[in-house]
Amino acid sequence: MISYRYIATIRALYDHHAKEGLEPLNHLSTAGIIRTRDGQFLFGRRSRGGTIDLIGGGVQSDELAVNHGSDIEANLRKEIFEELGVPSAQIEGVKGIGVLHSSTSNVLVIAEVDLALSTKEVVEQFAGRSDDEMSELVAVSQDDLSAFLVNMRDYRALIPELMHRS
């Protein structure tokens, strides 16, 4: 069984569409550049595969209908709660900085997210989160953020440019 959130990003499906001359499926996702109160940026190490990634995820029709722009933000807030254990009340601000198209056909809405918590406080809340998609947190300083993102694969290397434009 394959979860709804992964259907559009299955590499074999993407390759099949390309081979047959079909347009790829485009799945809407949200991703956050999460900044703590003490200026660290948080990423998660995925439980499956161990890769480091942004916090966020696909909009799932069985969880949230997107009728307005605010629903896209609601999806990101939901993902932050599931993956970090940080409830919406501890998010000080969400600022959309751009839309990117990944190589596996996701359309990603990228946002800068400011938390009302320090890195230490997020680590404590992470221990009690409801989702095990991320096995650990990875903190990156402001000075190291651009180089960190540029060294990541796919759309992530474009995020520093979005951040400088916003």
CA 60 to mean position of chain CA atoms:
14
Residues 6+ apart with CB under 8 A from 116: 37, 90, 91, 92
Domain ranges in the chain? 26-165
pLDDT bucket at 146, cuts 50 / 70 / 90: very high
Angle, vertex CA 107, rays to CA 71 and CA 59, nearest 5: 35
pLDDT bucket at 42, cuts 50 / 70 / 90: very high
92 HSE (CA, 13 A, CB side): 9
Residues 6+ apart with CB under 8 A from 139: 36, 40, 41, 42, 43, 119
According to the model, what pLDDT value does residue 153 have? 74
pLDDT bucket at 86, cuts 50 / 70 / 90: very high
Angle, vertex CA 122, rays to CA 120 and CA 126, nearest 5: 120
Dist. CA 41–CA 2, nearest whole Å? 31
Q: Cα(first)–Cα(last) distance of the chain, in Å?
A: 40
- Using a pLDDT cut of 70, give the percent of the chain over it: 80
| Structure-derived torsion over alpha carbons of residues 157, 89, 29, 107, reported in degrees to the nearest 10 | -60
β-bridge pairing 41-46 and 106-115: unpaired
According to the model, what pLDDT value does residue 13 have? 58
pTM: 0.82
Residue 90, helix vs strand vs coil: helix
CATH class of 26-165: alpha beta
